Amino acid sequence: MASQAPCAPCSPECLDEDGKTVSQLRSVHLPSVLSSDLEQLFHKLPGTALIRAYGRFKLSTLEARQDGLLAPFDPLEVSRDSPPPQEHPKPEKKFWGDQETLSKIPFKVLRGHEDLVSSCNFCVDDTKLLSGSYDCTLKLWDAVDGSVIRDFEQRPKAPVSECSVTADGRRIITASYDKAVRAWDLETGKLLWKINHETFIASCKVSPDGKYVVSALDVDRAICITDAENATTVSHIKNHHNRSLTACCFDPDSQKVASVSLDKSIKIWDITSQATLLTITKAHSSAISNCCFTFSGHFLCTSSWDKTLKIWNVHTGEFRNCGACVTLMKGHEGSVSSCHFSRDTSFLVSGGFDRTVAIWDVGEGYRKLSLKGHSDWVTDVAISNNKKWVLSASKDKTMRLWNIEEIDQIPLVIEYKKALGLKVKQCEVCDRPFSIYESDIFSETVTQCVFCRMDAKDLSTEASSLSGGEDSLSQDGSPGADD
């Protein structure tokens, strides 16, 4: 015999065996009986009747509970004041995580893009973050809680290759694979202007003074400098490199543009003289992926697919065709994609295809820490002006905001310095702290950081080249002059 299907608790059509509906059964008034009589009555009832009565009692209790819950939402309920709905506290979202057991680098994971995040920046006094992505969007984030503040409308129709922010934080410049450069108002999100090029744009940067925009063009191997106010072309230098450009950037004075390429070379172009001031050929053993100036403008860092970074002295000018440099090695296990100096040049941050972010001690050229957590390539990095935060973008569609405020107090860094035999001194020229090996025979006589020593060496080389080399030995004889 097939079992009878259970009737729905709230269905008014549920019938009793006698043909009465549940609503009709509810309207039946039972005579009042004493508790002893009620007990005798239950003892006399058969088991099936007891089960049926118990089921109807549960049914009435369930419906009464549902009526109480649904009463506040009943538009016809006016007979009594309904109790306010209960508020269930939401579990607090844990936004911080630990990087490694030893290092304890806290970080935030920022999710919101649907494809590779190609570019990231700090803006508005480090309180906001800007990102561009291959999902054709540009997003502005709150750096405190990691929420998206704005999705810019009139967005590109192709992946965003790079975005850049003016120093005053009022405008944004973006380059995308639809061959267009766009300028946006950061506060309102309004599109200010758009420039169409005939080829793909690999990189774009806005000058620190906000007057110019430089674009690195792919197919015609050119750099294009544009007036940021009226979107007119100032200079268009075709065939600037032998192969496609990969990145470009302005110096802090907004007068020079550095560009790097797949041809392994570095070029520095002067806007005023409309000429190339410096060319460094075969700067790396493989393609150069990115470049950035120090805030003094004397040094340029380049990252490469050869797994290294190099810091070049570009202060001496056009008479040199190769530069003295500091090579940063053994920081990444794969190609290095990006690099960024801190404001005081005390450290450098780089990202790589090995999914890590490396923090370097620039003065002595060693890696202080490796930040791990991304599940795919790190495509871009940025440092906040107060040096407390590092931002990284990745192919895994996320960004990570790392808190490095107390990095020098991390046991891993302290132990690494001890293992290397390093001690910290202060430069007598620029007051920048720098590390030096205690075992070095010149450790007591070296009183300048590596940057000031490089400056002194290059100036002495320039002077000797101008004077015919007569006094080269006397000018280069100090122990601290050699790196």
Answer yes or no: is pLDDT of 15 > 50.
Answer: no
- For 177, the token pair is 């694979």
- Report pLDDT for 463: 57
- The candidate with the shortest Cα–Cα distance to 30, out of 67, 66, 9, 60, is 60
Confidence grade of residue 366 (pLDDT, cut at 50, 70, 90):
confident
Element (H, E) at 204: strand 201-206
- What's 287's DSSP letter? -
- For 353, the token pair is 């295809």
- Report pLDDT for 346: 87
Digit-coded pLDDT (tens) for 21-62: 444 444 444 444 444 454 454 455 555 454 455 444 444 444
Answer yes or no: is pLDDT of 354 > 80.
Answer: yes
| Greater pLDDT, 427 or 38 | 427
Average pLDDT, the chain: 77
- Report pLDDT for 13: 44
| Greater pLDDT, 306 or 90 | 306
- Report pLDDT for 453: 72
- Report pLDDT for 481: 34
- C-alpha span between 312 and 299 (Å, rounded): 5
- C-alpha span between 108 and 111 (Å, rounded): 10
- Report pLDDT for 405: 85
| Greater pLDDT, 53 or 474 | 53
Confidence grade of residue 371 (pLDDT, cut at 50, 70, 90):
very high
- C-alpha span between 232 and 340 (Å, rounded): 29
Answer yes or no: is pLDDT of 339 > 70.
Answer: yes
- The candidate with the shortest Cα–Cα distance to 312, out of 334, 272, 279, 344, is 279
Answer yes or no: is pLDDT of 311 > 80.
Answer: yes
82-91, 95-104, 234-243, 306-315: which has the minimum mean pLDDT?
Answer: 95-104
Answer yes or no: is pLDDT of 326 > 80.
Answer: yes
The percent of residues above 70 in pLDDT, for the chain, comes to: 63
Answer yes or no: is pLDDT of 411 > 70.
Answer: no
Digit-coded pLDDT (tens) for 129-179: 999 999 999 999 999 989 999 998 888 989 999 999 998 889 999 999 999
List, edge to edge, every strand of the sheet that includes 336-341. 336-341, 347-352, 356-361, 366-372
- The candidate with the shortest Cα–Cα distance to 129, out of 393, 316, 413, 338, is 393
- Report pLDDT for 428: 78
| Greater pLDDT, 69 or 405 | 405
Helix (H, G, I), strand (E, B) or coil at 326: strand
Digit-coded pLDDT (tens) for 379-408: 999 999 999 999 999 999 999 999 998 776
- Report pLDDT for 154: 82
- Indicate the length of the chain as a whole number: 483
Digit-coded pLDDT (tens) for 219-229: 889 999 999 99
Domains contained in the chain, CATH given:
104-408 (2.130.10.10), 424-481 (no CATH)
Count CB neighbours of 140 within 10 A. 20
